[in-house]
Structure 1
Amino acid sequence: MDIDALRSFLAFIETGSFTRAAKQINRTQSAFSAQMRKLEDELNVSLFEKEGRNLVLSEAGIALRSHAEQLVGLHNQALKQVKRYENKRPLRLGCPEDYNDKLLPQVVKILQQAEPTCSIQVFSEPSSSLRAKLDDGKLDAAIVTRSAGSEEGYFLASDKGVWISHAEFELAQHHPIPIALFQSDCQYHAAAIDGLSKQGISYQLLACCNTASAQRAIVRSKMAIGAMGRMSVSDDLKILDNMPALPAVDIVLITGVEPHPVLDKTCLDQLINLPNSREANVAFF
């Protein structure tokens, strides 16, 4: 049964005449009548009968009424649900693996609340790679570590660098100290090397990693100590005291040249709580 024919049939029930029903659905009376005849032919029944000068539903018409209401209602509901996705496109979000556990879920939650039907595709790569992809139009937004002294992006949170080791790692038993760090473009890498050198601490750079999980795995194996942001430290690792100081870094959201519709001002204000307010975002986690 054609859904438009069922809509027309219900229009007759609502108005009580072919003439008024035709006007309600913006058809001519002849077109309406032809549509009803086609529906009757399809069902091989008479849906209407004369009652004096008026046209009323036949027994078959009465039987069809509840089914027509259900079918049209379901059709309308389906259209409403599907229309929510009209002109929608996924939000391609970059996030370094360091921030996947604690920061990423918070950001995704706010994005989902801003637009429940938006599909979010997450790409976990180092900040430098994410910036390049953003410039190439391969990402819509990225969570990155902001360079020292830079004012780029929308401030989300700060993180403080710490030294980490396995709980059973005996620092005093290792000369030189084996270390596992992020790649050389990471602020913690440069600060760790500089701090050890200035304090005259002998070290061996065992590994450079581009993910937090790789660095944690090496540290967890007791082969080295590491340096990373506090929010990236898993509960099974120990934070070392009396080590060279590591910097605090700003974590920001940067967006592409062509803004994604989900990332409107309201959504960005929710992400950063108060625009560019460091104090307001300390409790973001």
Structure 2
Amino acid sequence: MDIDALRSFLAFVETGSFTRAAKQVNRTQSAISMQMKKLEQDVNKSLFEKQGRLLSLSYDGQVFARYAKQLVQLHDDTLLQMNTAKPTTLLRLGCPDDYAESVLPTLVKLLHTQFTNLDLQINCTPSNRVKLMIDSGHLDLGVITRSPDSEEGYMLESAQGFWVYSPQHQAQQLQPLPIAIFQRDCRFHQATLEGLHKQSRDFKIIACCGSACALKGIVKSGIAISAMNELSIGDLPKLIDSNLPKLPTTDVVLVRANNQQNPVSDVFCADLSQQYRTNHRRDINTQPIV
């Protein structure tokens, strides 16, 4: 149905006359008559009836009038919204679930302070997968654990590695020592195996996976102990045991895709990195002393 015809119909509803309706919408009376005939064809109903010399709405016309008002209003609201809506910035962010509860919330908050109308799409996947998606252009921005001695990315924070366990199950006392570790590309995978081998420690790998959530579930159930950095352990208690190998410190950094479509630049990432570290220090300093 033509929106102008609906406006003409509503003008008739308001004025009760084709003549006055034509003046209201700045059309000729014959043009109004043609529009009304077309509307009646569209709905397959007679919208008008004669009462003597006067033309009035039929029963179907009265029903149609309610819907016509809604259609015109919806049309006008749609155009208003589309014409006044602020441009949306699509940003695709990758982040391992290791940092979903620690790094990610602060980063999301900072990103929304930089963009007034941000469409933030987050993909939780391991660091190696984030790198691949950055390189292939499927992500704009990524949070990763960078390799040792690498200057890749923009520093967010460093995190010390810890052994974690379930106090209710004491899996660390079992022989051979049951461990659940990250996949081979993770720094803790190599550090854990090398450390245990150097100690000639008898151990058994219960599982290797790329999900911190999965590792924490295994540890909480008492099946194994695990090694992860302090940003990933959540509410798991640290296992302080001098008989276990010391774990390394890891750097968590921000990386960006190098393509023209990326809404964030290197300068933006450097500034975001600085804001994150400033915000993180403030969060630490304002934590209550127990």
Aligned to 2:251: 250
Q: Give ranges in structure 2 of 5+ residues lacking alignment.
A: 285-290
Q: Tell me how far 1:75 sits from its aligned partner.
A: 3.2
Aligned partners of 1:137, 1:203: CA distance in 2, in Å? 44
Aligned to 2:184: 184
Aligned to 2:6: 6
Equivalent AA in structure 1 for residue 279 of structure 2: A
Give the paired residue count: 265
Q: CA 1:276–1:116 in structure 2 vs 1: closer, same or farther (change >3 Å)? A: closer
Identity of aligned residues (%): 38
Q: CA 1:104–1:276 in structure 2 vs 1: closer, same or farther (change >3 Å)? A: closer
Q: Superposed, which structure 2 residues align to 1:60-139 within 5 Å?
A: 60=57, 67-77=67-77, 92-104=92-104, 107=107, 114=115, 118=119, 120=121, 122=123, 124-139=124-139
Computed over aligned residues only, the root mean square deviation of the Cα atoms, in angstroms, reads 4.8
Q: CA 1:60–1:92 in structure 2 vs 1: closer, same or farther (change >3 Å)? A: same
Q: Superposed, which structure 2 residues align to 1:1-285 within 5 Å?
A: 1-10=1-10, 18=22, 21-22=25-26, 34-39=34-39, 44-46=46-48, 59-60=56-57, 67-77=67-77, 92-104=92-104, 107=107, 114=115, 118=119, 120=121, 122=123, 124-167=124-167, 168-169=169-170, 171=172, 173=173, 177-193=177-193, 200=199, 202-204=201-203, 206=205, 207-235=207-235, 237-243=236-242, 244-258=245-259, 263-264=263-264, 272=272, 275=274, 278-282=277-281
Aligned partners of 1:101, 1:11: CA distance in 2, in Å? 58
**Would the aligned equivalents of 2:110 and 2:276 in 1 still touch at CA under 8 Å?**
no
Aligned partners of 2:30, 2:120: CA distance in 1, in Å? 47
Q: 1:152-203 deviations in whole A, cap 9, x for unaligned?
A: 44544443321112214264x45664433222321223344455567x4635
Aligned partners of 1:284, 1:5: CA distance in 2, in Å? 61
Q: TM-score, normalised on structure 2?
A: 0.64
Aligned partners of 2:274, 2:255: CA distance in 1, in Å? 13
Q: 1:75-110 deviations in whole A, cap 9, x for unaligned?
A: 33356668999x989765432232234444555566
Q: Tell me how far 1:283 sits from its aligned partner.
A: 5.4
Residue range with higher mean Cα deviation, 204-213 or 180-189:
204-213
Query: What SS is found at the alignment partner of 2:238?
Result: strand
Query: What SS is found at the alignment partner of 1:238?
Result: coil
